[in-house]
Amino acid sequence: MASVTSPAALASDLRSVLSVVPAPMLASRSGLIAGSIDLRALSATGESARERLVPIVTSDTVQAFFWKDGADWRSKSGVAASDLSGFLVFGDAPSTVTLWRFAAPGKAAALLRSLAGKGFTRNDDGTLSNGEPFKIDPARRDPADPFLGPLGRASTFGAAGGGVVQSASPKIVSYLQQPEPGASLADEPPVAAALTGLEAAAGSARIPQAVLLGEAALVAAPKGSQAEGGVPPVRAIVIADIEEREAERRGAVVALGYADCEAARMASKAFADAWSTAPDRSGKPGAERTGAEAATRVVPSNGACAAVITLAKPVAGQQGNAVYRYIVQALMQRDFRALQGR
């Protein structure tokens, strides 16, 4: 892999990649807004990616990269794993977007140039496509091929955000090449507050992966009202896998973006209480299931505020990141009681 970015810069790096995402994505119906993988930080853990990676927002391209531990990636994509610094995935299927991020200038342009020899043709807007949009062709299916994936679906590529964006939707790729003026997702106040909170809490921790959620991700779960001491409504939730190298701990940072600090204080307390006492479907609370205690703080951010909860435990004996894995799996089962406030 490429040389590892300064640990303190990794949280800010997440802010940078989210600036590629259009602001309206915050209203995603699924609430699963974006997932980020930092390949440099993932490599620095010294573990198998299969042990550490816990995808919740993913794409055919990301799955192809890790297919059979990446054995076929170079031959299928024409891109060395060491040329990539990470991926960002956002949007709802089948129009999911994957941002390929590169470790050095010029690599993104090199990928786009190479596509002409891989069945891609140039469109009038400068994007490149390898077939009819959204059409599934089982004869071309290949889970290890990032250009076709397990359904044989065509892709469109274009330059954006200092990297390359890929989607089954040519319209989305065309838009992302020259987005309309306006705020990006990273500029939205609740997202910006959550990112500021993550940056404050992460310190020197590495962040191999992170996910950005909206409130819709929790819509199917029961929630306590604010008057009952439940978590106040939240519009942006950042959950990051962290590795504190100096303290030799692993875990997660959960940053909740709010309009004011009083709501953030209520949310941090409700989260910590539920993490310690609210049983999940197994009958045990998150603290007991993972062995990680909650440390909370409130971080102001340009008029907004973040409730920040750090959940970490010693590395000794850990395989992967049990805390982050527990949180993601609980979210997927609509059973993350700490975010429900009870």
The string of pLDDT tens digits covering residues 137-187 is 999 999 999 999 999 999 999 999 889 999 999 999 999 998 877 779 999
Report whether pLDDT(14) > 60: yes
| pLDDT-based confidence at residue 319 (cuts at 50, 70, 90) | confident
Q: What is the pLDDT of residue 59?
A: 96
Write down the pTM of the prediction.
0.91
Res 328: pLDDT: 93
pLDDT digits (tens, 9 = 90+) for 201-212: 988 889 999 999
pLDDT top residue among 335 and 307: 307
Task: Supply the pLDDT for residue 204.
Answer: 80
pLDDT band at 44 (very low <50, low <70, confident <90, very high): confident
Q: Where does the pLDDT of residue 339 fall: very low under 50, low under 70, confident under 90, or very high at 90 and above? A: confident
> In terms of pLDDT, which residue wins out, 3 or 172?
172
Residue 63 has pLDDT above 90, yes or no: yes
Long-range contacts of 49-53 (CB under 8 A, 24+ apart): 51/319, 51/320, 52/208, 52/209, 52/241, 52/320, 52/321, 53/208, 53/209
Mean pLDDT of 106-132: 95
What digits encode the pLDDT tens for the residues 241-289?
999 877 688 999 999 999 999 999 999 999 999 999 999 889 999 999 9
Share of the chain above pLDDT 90, in %: 66
